[in-house]
């Protein structure tokens, strides 16, 4: 089963797909040149929205937690990509410690960890899980519904290195987004690379910074193809120093909402799009779909009730939201199954390779709402083939070509994340 477009607004998208298909050799050459200049992150996932007239990323996650949702048939591709990533990160690596989230009751997350461990093991690594749980003092087995068993072990510090028991890894793979801050046990390690770097955890990373990099990437790519960059790039603004509970900064936020909505309307008129514009207001730092709301009128942010303000006031780990991203809302016109549940593609990459993906599906959310919410489900069947091999003998919107389009746009977000990574690793000027 493959999600299908339920709108007549397919002309512009098919045009983008046709451009991608026609220019595939040049696109791959363009990517190769940029990966030489800016190596890709170890792994990454990108949430895309397909509006029929626009295909754009709306979120980029450097700590992906859904490897269990990928089609098992693509596991060999994941393994090969991991081998490439390891060779570039730590060529002599023999063992790796995975640092997970502290989701002690989330069996879905543990199934993801099991899948990730299997991929790393098949790539030729010895793998242990080094947990940051403060109450974990001895190994703790976790039995999974799939029949697998994980062993959580305390991550300890010995000198300037970390270990699990007597196992000293060559590298540390973070699968914890550090929303709660950077744990001291991971600071200042010597000869143990940490990927992604600590500075890209959500205690420091900002979505606005990522999408600033993405804007530059999209403009370069659009110039290469001769298309309007707006077709692949969501408009956004950053609003800082807002306090939802004390109702300060509301006028500033409302002003940015008006500004983004006005820009969307101009682009809709330019491209003859008959849709109601909307924006997503979301925390500038954080994940798991928290502190996100759909807004169609600036007055809505001034008229939030207490329940709505409470929902927007805090992100993961209970951190107060002070900075928000006002991002162009991109409709999803894809649906799944007989119930026509709203769906959006999520593309997974390891190093610079597309290794699969899935559809996030929600039966109770609308096409203009955030689907990363309780009640979502995942369908891997759509990515039965890697999204990197287009078929020039088929129509631009044929399955392998649509998935190639997904992979191409997702890799643009990956390149933006790579530039974030490079920026984070650059030496800071004295006095900053």
What is the longest distance spanned by two Cα atoms in the chain?
Answer: 64
Total domains in the fold of the chain: 2
Q: Are 222 and 229 in contact, with CB atoms under 8 Å apart? A: yes
Answer yes or no: do 253 and 153 share one domain.
Answer: no
pLDDT tens-digit profile of 241-267? 788 888 888 898 999 999 999 999 999
**Token digits for 245?**
């509970």
Name the token pair of 244.
Answer: 């939802």
Using one digit for the tens of pLDDT, what is the confidence trace for 139-162?
999 999 999 999 999 999 999 999
Q: Please list the ranges in the chain whose pLDDT falls under 70.
A: 1-14, 287-290, 315-319, 380-389, 392, 395-400, 427-432
82 within a domain of the structure (yes/no): yes
257/316 same-domain check: yes
Q: Are residues 256 and 115 in the same domain?
A: no
pLDDT of residue 387: 52
Query: Model confidence over 47-58: pLDDT tens digits?
Result: 999 888 899 999
Q: Is the pTM of this model over 0.85?
A: yes
3-state secondary structure of 332: coil
Long-range contacts of 29-32, Cβ-Cβ distance < 8 Å, separation of 24 or more: 30/221, 30/224, 31/352, 31/411, 31/415
Residue 428 has a pLDDT of 61
In terms of residue numbers, what domain contains 156? 68-203
Same domain, 18 and 97: no
Tens digits of residue pLDDT in 95-118:
999 999 998 788 999 999 999 999
Q: Is the dihedral of CA 97, 101, 107, 113 positive or negative?
A: negative
Decide: 44 and 67 in contact? Cβ < 8 Å: no
Mean pLDDT in the chain?
87
C-alpha span between 269 and 283 (Å, rounded):
29
Q: Which residues contact 239 (CB under 8 A, 6 or more apart)?
A: 249, 252, 253, 256, 323, 324, 325, 326
Domain CATH for 96: 3.40.50.11280
Phi, psi angle pair for 357, to nearest 5°: 170, -175
- Which of 203, 238, 254 terminates a domain? The answer is 203
Q: Taking the mean position of all CA atoms in its chain, how far away is CA 167?
A: 31
The H or E element containing residue 57 is strand 55-61
318, with CB counted inside 10 A (0-12, 13-18, 19+), is: exposed
């Amino acid at each position: 089963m493959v999600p299908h477009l339920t709108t007549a607004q397919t002309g512009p998208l098919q045009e983008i797909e046709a451009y991608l298909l026609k220019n595939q050799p040049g696109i791959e050459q363009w990517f190769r040149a940029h990966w030489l200049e800016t190596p890709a992150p170890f792994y990454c996932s990108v949430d895309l929205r397909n509006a029929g007239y626009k295909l754009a990323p709306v979120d980029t996650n450097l700590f992906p937690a859904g490897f269990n949702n990928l089609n098992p048939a693509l596991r060999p591709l994941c393994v090969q990509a991991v081998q490439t990533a390891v060779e570039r990160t730590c060529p002599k690596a023999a063992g790796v410690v995975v640092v997970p989230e502290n989701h002690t009751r989330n069996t879905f997350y543990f199934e993801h960890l099991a899948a990730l461990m299997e991929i790393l093991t098949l790539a030729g690594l010895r793998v242990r899980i080094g947990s940051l749980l403060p109450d974990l003092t001895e190994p703790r087995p976790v039995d999974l519904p799939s029949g697998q068993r994980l062993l959580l072990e305390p991550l300890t510090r010995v000198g300037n290195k970390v270990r699990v028991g007597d196992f000293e890894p060559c590298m540390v793979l973070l699968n914890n987004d550090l929303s709660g801050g950077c744990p001291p046990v991971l600071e200042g390690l010597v000869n143990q690379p940490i990927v992604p770097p600590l500075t890209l955890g959500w205690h420091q990373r900002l979505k606005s910074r990522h999408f600033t990099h993405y804007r530059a990437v999209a403009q370069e790519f659009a110039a290469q193809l001769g298309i309007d960059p707006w077709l692949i790039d969501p408009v956004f603004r950053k609003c800082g120093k807002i306090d939802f509970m004390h109702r300060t900064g509301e006028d500033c936020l409302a002003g940015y909402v008006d500004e983004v909505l006005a820009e969307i309307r101009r682009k809709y008129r330019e491209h003859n799009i008959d849709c109601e514009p909307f924006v997503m207001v979301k925390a500038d730092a954080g994940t798991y779909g928290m502190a996100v709301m759909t807004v169609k009128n600036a007055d809505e942010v001034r008229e939030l009730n207490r329940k709505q303000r409470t929902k927007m006031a805090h992100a993961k780990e209970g951190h107060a939201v002070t900075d928000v991203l006002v991002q162009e809302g991109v409709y999803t016109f894809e649906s799944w199954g007989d119930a026509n549940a709203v769906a959006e593609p999520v593309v997974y990459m390891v190093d610079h390779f597309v290794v699969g993906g899935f559809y996030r599906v929600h039966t109770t959310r609308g096409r203009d709402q955030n689907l990363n919410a309780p009640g979502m489900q995942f369908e891997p069947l759509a990515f039965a083939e890697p999204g990197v091999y287009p078929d020039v003998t088929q129509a631009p919107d044929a399955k392998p070509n649509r998935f190639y389009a997904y992979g191409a746009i997702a890799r643009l977000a990956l390149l933006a994340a790579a530039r974030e990574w490079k920026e984070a690793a650059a030496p800071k000027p004295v006095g900053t």
